[in-house]
Amino acid sequence: MLYGRFAELSALDEVIAQARQGCGGAVVLRGEAGAGKTALLDAAAGRGEAMRVLRTSGVESESDLAFAALHQLLWPVAGSLEALPGPQRDAVRAILGHSADGAGDRFLLGAGVLSLLAEAAGPEGLICVVDDFQWADRASADALLFAARRLATERIAMLIAVRGDAPVKGVPTTVDVRGLPEDAAAELLESRHGLLLAASVRRELITLTGANPLALNEIAARLTPAQLAGRQPLPDPLPGGARLFGGRVTALSAPARLVALLAAVEADLEAVLRSAERLVAGAGSEAAASVVAAAFAELEESGLAEVSGTDVRFRHPLMRSAVHEAATPAEVRHVHAALAEQTAGDRRAWHLAGAALGQTEPVALALAEAAARARDRGGYGAAATALSRAAELTPGPRARAVRLKDAAVAAWLGGRPGQAESLLAEARERAEGDTTLAMEIAQLRGRFELNSGNAAEAVRILAAGDTLDMLADAVEAASYVGDTAAIVELGRRAAAHPEGFLRDTVAGIGLTLSGDPAGPGLLRRALARAGELEDAAGRLWATAAASALGESDLATEMAERAGRVARVSGMTGQLPVVLEFVATADRLAGRLSRSQAVSEEGLALAREAGYENTVAAHLANLAVLAALRGEAESCERQAREALAIAIPHRVGLSAGVASYALALLELCLGRFAAAHDRFTAIAAAGPGAGHPTVVWRTAPDRVEAAVGAGDEAGARAALSDYERSTEHAATSESRALLARCRGLAESSEDAFGEALRLHTNPFEAARTALLLGERLRRAQRPGQARAHLRMAWEIFEQAGARPWARRAREELRAAGESGQAPPTPVRDALSPQELRIAGLVADGLSSKQIAARLFLSPRTVEYHLYKIYPKLGISSRTELARLVVLQKASAPEDGML
User: Got the DSSP string for 837-863?
Assistant: HHHHHHTT--HHHHHHHHT--HHHHHH
| Average predicted confidence (pLDDT) for the chain | 88
CB atoms within 10 A of CB 732: 15
Asked if residue 318 and residue 360 are part of one domain, the reply reads yes
3-state secondary structure of 687: strand
Better-predicted residue by pLDDT, 209 or 498: 498
* Confidence check: pLDDT of 65 > 50: yes
3-state secondary structure of 521: helix
Q: Of 758, 766, 761, 745, which Cα lies nearest the Cα of 700?
A: 745
Q: Is residue 126 part of a domain?
A: yes
Note the pLDDT tens digit of each residue in 310-351. 889 888 877 887 888 889 999 999 999 999 999 999 999 999
Is residue 865 within 8 Å of 841, Cβ to Cβ? yes
Q: Is residue 54 part of a domain?
A: yes
Asked if residue 20 and residue 41 are part of one domain, the reply reads yes
Asked if residue 138 and residue 231 are part of one domain, the reply reads no
Q: How far, in Å, are 783, 814, 815 from residue 777 at the CA level?
A: 8, 8, 6
Q: How far, in Å, are 5, 42, 751, 858 from residue 16 at the CA level?
A: 16, 13, 64, 22
Q: Of 744, 738, 743, 704, which Cα lies nearest the Cα of 722?
A: 738
Task: Report the range of poorest mean pLDDT among 255-264, 430-439, 476-485.
Answer: 430-439
* Confidence check: pLDDT of 284 > 60: no
The band of 825, judged by pLDDT with boundaries at 50, 70 and 90, is low
Mean pLDDT over residues 20-31, rounded? 93
Percent of residues, the chain, with pLDDT higher than 90:
53
Of 157, 176, 195, the position where a domain reaches its end is 176
Q: Give residue 892's pLDDT.
A: 42
Residue count of the chain, please give it: 897
- Helices in 549-670 by DSSP H: which ranges? 552-568, 575-588, 592-609, 612-628, 632-646, 652-668
Asked if residue 190 and residue 145 are part of one domain, the reply reads no
Mean pLDDT over residues 423-430, rounded? 92
Of 176, 194, 212, the position where a domain reaches its end is 176
Q: Is residue 814 part of a domain?
A: no
Q: Give residue 534's pLDDT.
A: 79
Q: Give residue 886's pLDDT.
A: 60
Note the pLDDT tens digit of each residue in 764-774. 999 999 999 99
Mean pLDDT over residues 82-90, rounded? 88
pTM attached to this predicted model: 0.80
Q: Are strands 305-308 and 311-314 parallel, antiparallel or unpaired?
A: antiparallel
Is residue 124 within 8 Å of 50, Cβ to Cβ? yes
CATH number at residue 840: 1.10.10.10
Asked if residue 12 and residue 129 are part of one domain, the reply reads yes
Q: How is residue 414 annotated by DSSP?
A: T
Q: How far, in Å, are 113, 263, 361, 631 from residue 414 at the CA level?
A: 17, 30, 26, 36
* The dihedral formed by the CA atoms of 776, 781, 784 and 785, expressed in degrees to the nearest 10: 40
The band of 895, judged by pLDDT with boundaries at 50, 70 and 90, is very low
Q: Give residue 571's pLDDT.
A: 46
Asked if residue 282 and residue 423 are part of one domain, the reply reads yes
DSSP secondary structure letters along 272-289 = HHHHHHHHHHHTT-S-HH
- Helices in 647-731 by DSSP H: which ranges? 652-668, 672-684, 692-697, 699-708, 712-725
Distance CA 897, CA 885 (A): 9
The band of 823, judged by pLDDT with boundaries at 50, 70 and 90, is low
Q: Put the strands of the sheet holding 174-176 in their side by side order.
A: 52-57, 126-131, 156-163, 25-31, 174-176
Asked if residue 391 and residue 317 are part of one domain, the reply reads yes
Please report which helix (H) or strand (E) contains residue 387, including its range: helix 380-393
CB-count burial class (<10 Å; 0-12, 13-18, 19+) for 399: middle
Is residue 666 within 8 Å of 678, Cβ to Cβ? yes
Of 221, 240, 259, the position where a domain reaches its end is 240
Mean pLDDT over residues 54-73, rounded? 91
Asked if residue 151 and residue 29 are part of one domain, the reply reads yes
Percent of residues, the chain, with pLDDT higher than 70:
94
Q: Of 443, 449, 447, 403, which Cα lies nearest the Cα of 423?
A: 403
Q: Is residue 401 part of a domain?
A: yes
Q: How far is CA 836 from the centre of its chain?
A: 19
Please report which helix (H) or strand (E) contains residue 65, including its range: none
Q: Give residue 821's pLDDT.
A: 57
- Give the contacts of 885 (CB within 8 A, at least 6 positions apart): 842
Distance CA 444, CA 477 (A): 13
3-state secondary structure of 833: helix
Q: Give residue 60's pLDDT.
A: 86
Distance CA 94, CA 108 (A): 12
- Give the contacts of 750 (CB within 8 A, at least 6 positions apart): 743
Asked if residue 336 and residue 294 are part of one domain, the reply reads yes
Mean pLDDT over residues 741-750, rounded? 93
Distance CA 49, CA 381 (A): 37
Asked if residue 445 and residue 386 are part of one domain, the reply reads yes
Q: Which domain holds residue 342?
A: 248-452
CATH number at residue 104: 3.40.50.300
Task: Give the chain's domain count.
Answer: 4
Asked if residue 253 and residue 133 are part of one domain, the reply reads no
Q: Of 112, 127, 136, which Cα lies nearest the Cα of 59?
A: 136
3-state secondary structure of 57: strand
Q: HSE on the CB side for 787, CA within 13 Å? A: 4
Look up residue 794 and give its amino acid: E
Distance CA 708, CA 744 (A): 9
Q: Of 728, 892, 768, which Cα lies nearest the Cα of 826?
A: 892
* Confidence check: pLDDT of 295 > 50: yes
Q: Is residue 726 part of a domain?
A: no
Mean pLDDT over residues 205-218, rounded? 84
CB-count burial class (<10 Å; 0-12, 13-18, 19+) for 494: buried
* Confidence check: pLDDT of 100 > 80: no
The band of 644, judged by pLDDT with boundaries at 50, 70 and 90, is very high
Is residue 112 within 8 Å of 140, Cβ to Cβ? no
Note the pLDDT tens digit of each residue in 867-886. 888 888 788 888 888 777 66
3-state secondary structure of 55: strand
Mean pLDDT over residues 75-94, rounded? 89
Mean pLDDT over residues 144-165, rounded? 92
| CA end-to-end distance (rounded Å), the chain | 56
Distance CA 183, CA 199 (A): 12
Q: Is residue 604 part of a domain?
A: no
Please report which helix (H) or strand (E) contains residue 306, including its range: strand 305-308
Asked if residue 255 and residue 109 are part of one domain, the reply reads no
